[in-house]
Amino acid sequence: MQIIAIDAMGGDYGSAPIIEGTLQALNEKKFKAVLVGKRDIIESQIPLRYKDSVEIVEANDVIEMKDLATDALKRKESSIYKAVELVRDRKADAVVSAGHSGATMSLATLRIGRIKGVSRPAIATLMPTALQGKYSLVLDVGANVDSKPLHLFEFGVMGEAYVKDVLGIAYPKVGLLSNGEESSKGNEVTKEAYKMLEVIPSFKGYIEGNNIFDGSTDVVVCDGFVGNILLKTSEGVADSISKIIKKNVRKSPLAITGAILMRKVFKILKKQVDYAEYGGAPLMGINGCAIISHGKSNAKAVKNAIFQAINFSNSNINKDIEEKLKELKSSIVSEAQ
């Protein structure tokens, strides 16, 4: 049975949605939840029927969004520090946090450690596409704002392993985000990364921004600076489209009728762009599992983040990443010689 450590005090809305999401997850899947935080606050929200499925680890300190990520290592009594330590000590299989993402990333990287062969971990996130039920995995979306070609190559390997092992896509397509599909395009970093990525059989070359959403690519590789802008822009566009539709529907009786008839379509669209459906973003490349959730996560998002953690932990992804990097880096060295 999987043991998932959950930072019960992280997130913009306090412990309530995190605990509620944990309970919802326990209603659907069998696992052991370890809630880390202030015991009196947590205990007051846990019904007695969950006592065999929930353990509480006391942590009196909370790292808030305004705090510096660099201080996380010093604050050993914080909920996120103790949650990460459970994974480090192999007392938990994964950690889930909707708290300070920088602190979670730093602690997971430094305390749990990296997979052998990984230079830098990357945050990966699923993006909706025009094809029903199909998503593209984008990485990095914020862990590294100044990536080198080798890092982009490693992101490609890690992304391919994730869609194979966790999403179950047997023959994924890996693309490198650039300003054109021609191999002559890109900057110096992407051009060098392109040469390295060519040793991956699933690499299909450069892709452009529109290819992220058309379903033609399973893994999108990019620098964390670009990826984070892409992520925030996508969230903004989805929110704006929703507001534009609602605003204009109210202006016309005919539009209202059309909206009523299109309710099912709008429901599907809302579900596809709702971050709560994905739950959180895995930090790829660490020697364990850490799921970084949105600060505004509701109970549904927390539940799905826990499910992500369970699926990740049940796979052989980290071992596959290590073996694949060892194999492909040897190929790169051989070709260079």
The mean pLDDT of 26-31, rounded to a whole number, is 96
Dihedral (Cα; 231, 235, 238, 241), 10-degree rounding: -120
Q: How confident is the model at residue 263 (pLDDT cuts 50, 70, 90)?
A: low
pLDDT digits 0-9 by tens, 161-210: 999 999 999 999 999 999 988 888 899 999 999 999 999 999 999 999 99
Whether 268 shows a pLDDT value over 50: the answer reads: yes
Neighbouring residues of 240: CB distance < 8 A, sequence distance ≥ 6? none
The span from the CA of 303 to the CA of 91, in Å, is 21
Structural domains of the chain sorted by starting position, each given as residue range(s) with its CATH number in brackets: 3-118+285-318 (3.40.718.10), 124-275 (3.40.718.10)
78, amino acid identity = S
Least confident span in 186-190, 229-233, 289-293: 229-233
End-to-end CA distance of the chain: 48
pTM of the full predicted structure? Answer: 0.89
